[in-house]
């Protein structure tokens, strides 16, 4: 379905990202970037045409943020398509180019930059604002470019604006139903004091990472299966234990990245993520966490199964709260994707992934080698680097089932990344719209 207007309401997570952008303009926090390594010959003119064609097919690649007649922010889709910038050689600072802020949110909020590396290899850098791209959109973008490069005919793609309009309808539908009452009861009495008060003089954002090797990750999956929960439940329980240890708070509200992408929008690029609240207690026995919190994590995720269709903006408005989430959790597949295009192979890898607009966000990425990469992203105006490292250390120890205490199973690296992936709550990958991602 193609909307008859060039504007649409912002989806809930886009509202949060837009508010964060207004509060922190000209930062890299909300930039998503991928590197596409092209091995083999590339017709750069054909690639330029593919970029333009993809922009014509995918409305969000032409989208920005405008205002309606009342002055409220809306998605605004322009006629201008993104274009390809060609460089004669690799830039001296690829990371800086990848994370360059978009500043003004007028569209298009995506950049394509190509340069040669050797006689037979080249690089395509794709940078976008997180408003227009979620974790599942990365492979779709590369596949769409490949189809345009081949000049392959494709069926029309459902327009993201139709989804955003329908989601807004759910957010503002009149009346009250069982889901509204459920969420109001669920959030009753939640602590109003911030986990981390503002830090005077602090600026910027930071990230810390560790990796779990494939063997440790496999043991985690086996442990989850033995306790009849998904790895996501372990991530949620471990995050609750780590944050409770750091803050001494005994009633936590953790936002879980929830995939609201229907099968209808399987090929549509856009941000289909909402972050919904799960209430978690502090572990009674910290030495036994996350096992002691698994029932609470499982119950919280099952709650999303039943009531996740309610947009977060409606949940908090009906409960009389400003968005109280300070910690978010996501689990996803790492952006590792390849496609054969004629005599060349295009391999996508993540370079920069947008941080969450929350003070602390935990991102767990499943890598192709079977290992896990665990990242804690933090807003330094609320959370200092030491606290982020402590949260990461406790969480990694939880997910490694205590194996990191003797060392050796994790690797540490700094980063600026975040993202999401589809996950079934009760098992591994599952149908859309039933799990965090």
DSSP 84-98: EEE-SS--S-HHHHH
C-alpha separations of 175 from 169, 180, 338 in Å: 12, 9, 47
Does residue 89 contact residue 123 with C-beta atoms inside 8 Å? Answer: no
How do residues 125-140 score in pLDDT, each as one tens digit?
999 998 999 888 999 9
Across 68-191, the runs of DSSP E, i.e. the strands, are 73-77, 84-86, 110-116, 121-129
pLDDT for 286? 58
| Count of C-beta atoms within a 10 Å radius of residue 124 | 22
What gap in Å lies between CA 308 and CA 117, rounded to an integer?
46
pLDDT per position as a tens digit, 291-340: 788 999 999 999 998 888 888 888 988 888 888 899 999 998 888 899 99
Cα–Cα distances in angstroms (integers) from residue 236 to residues 38, 240, 330, in the given order: 37, 6, 9
Instruction: Say if residue 151's pLDDT is above 60.
Output: yes
pLDDT digits over 165-203, tens only? 888 888 877 777 788 889 999 998 887 778 999 998 888
pLDDT, mean over the chain: 83
Instruction: Compute the distance between CA of residue 139 and CA of residue 414 in angstroms, rounded to an integer.
Output: 25
CA distance 144 to 351: 19
The pLDDT assigned to 79 comes to: 78
Distance CA 357, CA 98 (A): 19
Query: pTM, whole model, 2 decimals?
Result: 0.84
Instruction: Tell me the percentage of the chain whose pLDDT exceeds 70.
Output: 87
pLDDT score, position 128: 92
CB atoms within 10 A of CB 178: 9
Phi, psi of 208 (to 5 degrees): -135, 150
- In the chain, helix, strand, coil percent, each to 5? 35, 25, 40
- Give me 301's structure tokens: 């995720």
- Segment 346-375 shows an average pLDDT of 86
Mean pLDDT along residues 376-391: 92
Q: For 82, which DSSP code?
A: P
Query: What's the pLDDT tens digit per position in 155-167?
Result: 889 999 999 888 8
Q: What percent of the chain has pLDDT over 90?
A: 47
Q: CA separation (Å) from 300 to 273, 281, 290, 308, 419?
A: 18, 11, 14, 11, 21
Provide the β-strand partners of residue 77.
Answer: 63
pLDDT exceeds cutoff 70 at 285: no
CA distance 409 to 426: 27
């Amino acid at each position: 379905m193609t909307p008859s207007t060039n504007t649409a309401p912002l989806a809930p997570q886009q509202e949060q990202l837009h508010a964060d952008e207004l509060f922190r303009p000209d930062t890299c926090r909300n930039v998503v970037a991928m590197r596409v390594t092209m091995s083999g010959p590339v017709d750069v003119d054909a690639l330029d045409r593919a970029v333009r064609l993809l922009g014509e097919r995918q409305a969000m690649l032409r989208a920005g943020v405008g205002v309606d007649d009342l002055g409220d922010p809306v998605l605004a889709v322009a006629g201008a398509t993104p274009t390809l910038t060609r460089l004669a050689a690799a830039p001296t600072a690829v990371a800086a180019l990848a994370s360059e802020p978009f500043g003004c949110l007028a569209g298009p909020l995506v950049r394509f930059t190509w340069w040669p590396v050797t006689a037979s290899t080249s690089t395509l850098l794709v940078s976008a604002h997180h408003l227009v791209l979620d974790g599942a959109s990365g492979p779709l973008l590369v596949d769409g470019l490949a189809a345009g490069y081949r000049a392959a005919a494709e069926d029309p793609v459902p327009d993201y604006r139709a989804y955003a309009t329908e989601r807004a309808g759910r957010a503002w539908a009149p009346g009250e139903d069982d889901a509204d009452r459920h969420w109001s009861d669920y959030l009753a009495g939640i602590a109003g004091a911030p986990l981390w008060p503002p830090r005077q003089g602090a600026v910027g954002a930071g990230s810390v990472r560790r990796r779990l090797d494939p063997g440790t990750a496999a043991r985690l999956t086996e442990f989850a299966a033995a306790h009849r929960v998904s790895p996501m439940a372990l991530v949620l329980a471990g995050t609750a234990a780590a944050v409770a240890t750091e803050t001494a708070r005994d009633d936590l509200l953790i936002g879980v990245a929830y995939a609201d992408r229907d099968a209808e929008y399987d090929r549509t690029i856009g941000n289909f993520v909402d972050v919904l609240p799960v209430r978690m207690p502090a572990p009674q026995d910290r030495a036994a966490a996350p096992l002691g919190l698994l029932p609470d994590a499982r119950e919280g995720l099952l709650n999303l199964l039943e009531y996740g269709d309610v947009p977060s903006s409606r949940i908090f408005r009906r409960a009389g709260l400003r968005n109280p989430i300070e910690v978010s959790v996501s689990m996803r597949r790492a952006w590792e994707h390849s496609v054969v295009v004629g005599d060349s192979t295009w391999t996508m890898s993540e370079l920069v992934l947008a941080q969450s607009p929350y003070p602390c966000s935990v991102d767990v990425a499943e890598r192709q080698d079977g290992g896990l990469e665990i990242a804690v992203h933090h807003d330094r105006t609320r959370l200092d680097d030491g606290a982020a490292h402590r949260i990461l250390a406790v969480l990694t120890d939880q997910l490694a089932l205590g194996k990191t205490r003797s060392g050796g199973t994790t690797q540490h690296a700094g980063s600026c990344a975040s993202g999401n992936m589809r996950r079934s709550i009760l098992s591994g990958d599952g149908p859309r719209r039933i799990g965090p991602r």
